[in-house]
Structure 1
């Protein structure tokens, strides 16, 4: 069938006319034409870069067109590049992405066009240490109803960076509205195609999303072959690109387990290019095996050996998902009828302490930063607020591992098969845990020591809607830990506080949280005083009833006022 006949058939079928274009121009030529149209219409370009092959191919074409514009003496609008870091990416990919961003900046400087790189990471509470090691939530498992980690670590960060780029773009006068470019391709998976269709995304030029923002997906209809062909042209020097992508190609080759990536000498060949994906080293949603990480280690143990302790920790987390003996059975909320549930929930305090040890050990053995000083303080503060441990236990654990080299890797345990969640019963609590008058008026977020020095420390009290008085500390947009303050605390004060407060007979395990506030290291989120006051009061009440810290299922069962007898068989397995 002739090209014109194909055109008439497709037109009559009322399909996307992108198929028509494919019969007339090559995918790379088409993508660069679409990018040129953005520049021709004087739009500022905003590009979301991840470091993967699709992202690299799009960046290659975008910056190649930009360099061509400047070489021809044409004016070029500013280009913004955003890059989000989850904090737990495969360290090989993370290092690769940062190296490529550096090359982009050098390429822009060489060709005299404006390239602005914006990077970001999840907020403190949403980070992997802030989410898992604090005990706030379990890892995101395959059975988890939502991908909270992906939303918090990628989507939210990406949207925040995009919003920042759009605001900055508005400050450039003389240019038209920004167009956001992505490396989305159709046909990668059924789930992705559903989302693409919902957005009405296409590859025929600039399109608008539901908010009216302008978008462009230049490699929308690229096959995997087309992606590798683009990188192959750059590697062969047939495209003037910011990179030869040798590190990108090497990574996919090593992670693919036998797949052959197109080489510079054979831009198009018969071999099937590698489509390996590699995400976070901590990804428990991927299932029992992270084949990409294992293949990297197998392909070059010397180069990728740093992944072994990280993958060991990840595998441990996957294998213990249904080990109910490692779960805290005392609920975190008190119902309106005054009962607290005794049911397998998040990890036990001792499991969290062990996970901190395993993580710090993996960090030291791999050389990959995982827990910052601010995150460590947050872990310790949350353990204290929940009365999991005496104050500064997490800090003491940190010194044991880091300074005293008490390393302990995650154990190699068998995978526990799925089983029903054990539900033991309920403990009657009543309402006296949250009395805000009398002797209980000094509980929660009250800080008697600071109040004694209110004139010199300028600490005032504020009344909550329920009548409770709390210290009126400064609040921020979200709960935050000052990184410099955290580092100073670890260097100069921590040992003294561990000596004075970190003991089992401490009458108030929540004191650590208030000390961090008192020192100005920890800041609550705006409007969170009521929530934190309730958490601290509940923890103090639990300690007064010997329900704090590590409690066995048998202990809790004996305290239940209501037992779920139908669950008896499940109790025994725990």
Structure 2
């Protein structure tokens, strides 16, 4: 990829702006080269990448009218940190409005796992055990089932829609995030400059070489009005990450003191590959008014972890017939009574949240999920009758 960068100009506008300008120039060339771009928007790193990408599209369109489009994508596993997810979706609204004002082809998408693969349907419907290091052979099981597969389906849809394989997935992944992330980027040969083929198709890690400080500096530059951005609400990014970091965010706005860097990690609250969801717990303790309504979700996580190896909660129902005609019986699914208890707990959490969650809602189970659970239970011999509706239907 041949990207012309005026380094003299970059020196004049300063280091912070120079990194931004270099990144925008690379992304601008991608659009001019005919790539259709997607970006998964989920947090601080992808937020920083999105600012660069939207500005690149704006500049590319002044040179060539038919560039793009850009698809902004967020996957809702239904188990996301609710406040952060709602904030990310507000950025979707901002980027679409910005695109309309500036005649830019920008589209917003909220993806979900298929109904059968939704976590609540898996856990409560089919009795799949809570994903922990002891119950899953692959460390990325949660991400694969609930995020990667929906994204694959979405990208396949774009390929059919545009009749081209020149679809580029742009991420906010950075080497500086962790040794594991750096290793994975290296294994996939991902670059910040050149698209490469991965399991998801063509991919590019636009801010791969950025530091955590670079990310927060960009938000500060946007907040100060030094550069144009599609949203003026990025100060909320720091608020949410600071709360997830126990109220401390030393690393921002050029402050190089790294006493307690603002690098919180947010995950699905019912993916227990880590025993504790420290970012969520920090948020609730730091600002109960904003985040406290999510405490019952963390309590549900704790309950499921604590009861995971109570084998009275397991089913001995055989599910697979071997080639020799035998049915293998094991204790590797939740029992129906335990699943009923989980359903009652989740519906109670949802009902009570309407009174305490302010502008946010807890929507783990809707009617379609309830029907999927009902179908799964009926396959195991549970008679669905008036008792079912009286026990569960009245909780809506």
Rounded to whole Å, the distance in 2 between the matches of 1:270 and 1:210 is: 35
Contact 1:81 / 1:116 at 8 angstroms: preserved in 2? Answer: yes
Which of the residues 331, 334, 346 maps onto 1:359? 346
Q: Per the alignment, do residues 220 and 259 of structure 1 end up closer, same or farther by CA in structure 2, a change over 3 Å counting? A: same
Residues 231 and 160 from structure 1, CA distance in 2 versus in 1: closer, same or farther, beyond 3 angstroms?
same
Given the alignment of the two structures, is residue 122 of structure 1 paired with residue 113 of structure 2, yes or no? yes
Q: Quick one: which of 287, 301, 305 aligns to 1:314? A: 301
Q: Do 1:384 and 1:391's aligned partners in 2 also have CA atoms closer than 8 Å?
A: no
* CA distance 1:307–1:212, change in 2 (3 Å): closer
Q: 1:316 and 1:212 mapped to 2: Cα distance?
A: 35
2:222 maps to 1:222: no
CA separation of 1:170 and 1:237: change in aligned 2, threshold 3 A: farther
Structure 1 segments unaligned to the other structure (5+ residues):
1-22, 403-574
Which residue matches 1:275?
Answer: 263
Aligned-pair distance for 1:281?
2.3
Distance in 2 (CA, whole Å) between partners of 1:34 and 1:114 is: 19
Match among 209, 213, 230 for residue 197 of structure 2: 209
Q: What's the TM-score, normalizing by structure 1?
A: 0.60
Question: Structure 1's 212 and 354: CA in aligned 2 closer, same or farther, altered over 3 A?
Answer: closer
| 1:503-522 aligned within 5 A | none
Distance in 1, Cα, partners of 2:75 & 2:229: 23
Matched, 1:153 2:142: no
Matches within 5 A, 1:382-461: 382-391=376-385, 394-402=388-396
Mapped to 1, the partners of 2:212 and 2:294 lie a distance apart of 27
Kindly provide the CA deviation profile for residues 411-463 of structure 1, in whole angstroms up to 9, marking residues without a partner as x.
Answer: xxxxxxxxxxxxxxxxxxxxxxxxxxxxxxxxxxxxxxxxxxxxxxxxxxxxx
Work out which structure has the larger RCO, using CA pairs closer than 8 Å and 6 or more positions apart in sequence: 2
Which whole-Å deviations, capped at 9, do the CAs of 1:151-189 have from their partners, x for residues lacking one? Answer: 111000111112222333348xxxx93433211211423
Superposition pairs of residues 55-66 of structure 1, within 5 angstroms: 55-66=46-57
CA distance in 1, matches of 2:306, 2:213: 37
**1:301 correspondence with 2:292:** no
1:33 corresponds to: 25
Query: Which structure is higher in helix share?
Result: 2
CA contact (8 A) 1:228 1:261 kept: no
2:373 counterpart SS class = helix
Q: Does 1:196 align with 2:188?
A: no
How many residues get paired? 369
| 2:243 aligned residue | 254
CA distance in 2, matches of 1:401, 1:282: 22
1:370 aligns with 2:364: yes
User: How far does the alpha carbon of each residue in 1:276-329 deviate from its partner, in whole angstroms, 9 at most, with x for none?
Assistant: 011112222221x21111111111111112101111111111111111121113
Structure 2: distance between partners of 1:236 and 1:394: 57
Q: 2:173 aligns with which of 175, 184, 196?
A: 184
Determine helix, strand or coil for the equivalent of 1:46.
Answer: strand
Alpha-carbon distance in 2 for matches of 1:351, 1:310: 17
* Matches of 1:241 and 1:50, distance apart in 2: 15
Segments of structure 2 that go 5 or more residues without pairing to the other structure are 1-14, 354-360
Alignment RMSD, CA only? Answer: 2.6
SS at match of 1:106: helix
Q: Distance in 2 between matches of 1:53 and 1:189?
A: 15
Task: State the distance in 1 between where 2:109 and 2:264 align.
Answer: 27
CA distance in 2, matches of 1:180, 1:356: 37
User: Would the alpha carbon gap of residues 237 and 391 (structure 1) be closer, same or farther in structure 2, given more than 3 Å must change?
Assistant: same
Please tell me whether Structure 1 or Structure 2 has the larger radius of gyration of its CA atoms: 1
* Alignment TM-score, normalising by the size of structure 2: 0.85
